[in-house]
Homo-oligomer: A and B are copies of this chain.
């Protein structure tokens, strides 16, 4: 059962550095345009974590002050690569979701006199799903070109889930606005 002694933020960093060496700033940029829709990371995590990874010997950092800007480029050590592979081989913990919109929707029957509150939440939910799906679709061609089937699988997973989510919310609005069609398979 013993799982990796490193946080998932550490694994994001190790995974990205396995691609190529990067600065902390570049790690943040890359996260924001790739893993962000299922795993975000802030500077407040990245920099301290890089420090810990360095102390643990999993990354090494090279100072690169050419041009006057002081920056540290981090790269994986063999131990870091090993830690990444070990983590990949372990089973993942069961996913815990926390979705505030679902929470609101779940209790929307309590909105008594304000009957539109529930459908408003649903419409907002539909729109958020549609926007996310659109944003992810823009990334698709680049990933197809890159030829990484895993990253492509993740992206398409996101696209499908959001498409399905948007459709479902629209249907639910219709179902709530005209009750009576209350059965189905």
Contact = CB atoms under 8 A, between A and B. Distances in A.
Interface of A: 8, 11-12, 15, 18, 34-35, 37-40, 81, 84-85, 87-89, 91-112, 114, 117-118, 121-122, 124-125, 128, 147-151, 153-154, 156-158, 160-161, 164-165, 168-169, 172, 175-176, 179, 182
B96 A40 contact: yes
A133 B95 CA distance: 14
Chain A: interface secondary structure? helix
A154 B92 contact: no
B88 A150 contact: no
A110 B93 contact: no
A37 B97 contact: yes
Contact of A153 (B39, B110, B122): B122
Nearest to A118: B150
B104 A92 contact: yes
21 contacts: A8-B98, A8-B103, A12-B103, A15-B103, A15-B110, A38-B99, A85-B114, A88-B107, A88-B114, A89-B111, A92-B124, A95-B100, A102-B157, A102-B158, A109-B149, A149-B172, A149-B179, A149-B182, A153-B172, A160-B164, A164-B164
A125 B96 CA distance: 13
Given A149-B175, A164-B161, A88 B101 contact: no
A39 B107 CA distance: 12
Given A111-B85, A112-B85, A114-B89, A150 B105 contact: yes
